[in-house]
Structure 1
Amino acid sequence: MNIEEFFQLSAGKWFSHRTSHHLASKQSENGKSDTIIEILSSDDPEVVKLYQQYNVDPSRTCYGAKVTWNATMAGSEKKDTGSTVFVAVPDEDNPNEGKFLRPIDSAGKPLVAGRYKIGTDDALTLTTEYETMWYEERLWFASPNLRMRVSVVKRIDGFSTASFTSEIRMGGSQPTAKTSQATHSASS
């Protein structure tokens, strides 16, 4: 599977259940989310804006997605809603690796491009290093309609969080035959 197929297989509406463990305080929290993932074309204004912000040549091949969520944490009435855009820019010599671009909300902070890598097991690993923290997330498909994610956030002050998320496709875009075959061969 390549990054384009991974994005295509991710398109649709998902129900997510996340468990996060705050390692320093030994506390856990659970949350649920409805998530919609839409594929964006390379000429989509939000993709073009990220290319400009990161000074990426607009003629480069890229794959973009918009993620919109509506989440709640157990024991809280407050909803967390929002959206963001992700753009994968494959390395020219190795398309299974490349830059991973996303907007940064905080004003005045420098943009940091993450890295992505598709492994031989068809799992996508995202890694981003900031001045004060390191973030890694690994995503894979157990089946075309079941996606798993694990993430680790390590902060310079020693505070770390580990999360596990399972996501079930609820509707929207269905995977293409090509991506279904790639996922089936990965889960066999």
Structure 2
Amino acid sequence: MTIEQFVAQSSGKWRSMRSGHSLAFQQFEEVLSEVVIEKLSKEDPGVKQLLESSLAKEQDKCSISSPFKMEWCAESDWEPDDPSEVSSGSCIIVPLTKDKSSGTLIRSVGYAESESAISEYSFLDDGTFTLTTQYEQSIAEERIWFVSENVRCRSSVLRTSAGSGILQTSFASEVRRINA
């Protein structure tokens, strides 16, 4: 699989059910989300702004491939004050290809920490997308794979910044919303 194929296959509206286990707090969390993934043009103002503010080198910017926007609205059972509280957000993601099966992702907002992030991605032989992001306080390792055209799975492991301890794990199954 290539990043272009992955973004094309991921585009659309998804219903996600994620289970997370926080080892640090010994808590289990259930999250229901609506996720929208939309392909963007390389000329999109948000893409240009992200590239200008990122650590990407000028030569890297020549390898932009399939930028996209991801929006989410999530409801968690782990909100202590109000279990029905909804968290939402969005981020722009710009892939920079190194070769057919690997590269770098520049993200306006990271997965584990709410700051911009640069991640390394690659595809395994079976098409599984792997992503590793080094944050200031942690390291996030994610995997996304398609079970079928309209079902995908996602798993993540959040480690300490030294990589020696596991802070959190999660698994999500996601089903594409199909318009009738």
Length-normalised TM-score, structure 1: 0.81
Structure 1 equivalent of residue 42 of structure 2? 42
Pair 1:6-2:6 in alignment: yes
User: How many Å separate the matches in 2 of 1:15 and 1:127?
Assistant: 24
The Cα shift of 1:44 comes to 1.1
Aligned pairs, number = 167
Equivalent position of 2:126 in the other structure: 121
Q: 2:77 aligns with which of 39, 58, 74?
A: 74
Q: Residue 72 of structure 2 aligns to which amino acid in structure 1?
A: W
> What is aligned with 1:162?
169
Q: What per-residue deviation string (whole Å, max 9, x for no partner) do you get for residues 61-80 of structure 1? A: 32211111111012611100
| Two-structure CA RMSD over aligned residues (Å) | 2.2
How far off its partner does 1:99 sit? 0.7
The alignment partner of 1:171 has SS state of coil
Percent identical among aligned pairs is 34
Q: Distance in 2 between matches of 1:35 and 1:161?
A: 21
- The unaligned stretches of length 5 or more in structure 2 are none
For residues 20 and 66 of structure 2, the distance between their equivalents in structure 1, rounded to whole angstroms, comes to 29
Partner of 1:59: 62
Kindly state the Cα deviation for residue 171 of structure 1 after the two structures are TM-superposed. 2.8
Residue 25 of structure 1 deviates from its aligned partner by 3.3
Matched residue type, 2:170: S
Aligned pair in 2 of structure 1 residues 104, 29: CA closer, same or farther (>3 Å)?
closer
- Given the superposition, is the C-alpha separation of residues 78 and 152 from structure 1 closer, same or farther in structure 2, using an over 3 Å criterion? same
Q: Which has the higher contact order (CA 8 A, sep 6+)?
A: 1
Taking a change above 3 Å as real, the CA distance of residues 145 and 104 of structure 1, as seen in their structure-2 partners, is closer
* Structure 1 residues 108-187: aligned runs within 5 Å: 112-156=117-161, 158=165, 160-171=167-178
* Structure 1 gap segments, 5+ residues each: 173-188
Q: Distance in 2 between matches of 1:159 and 1:127?
A: 14
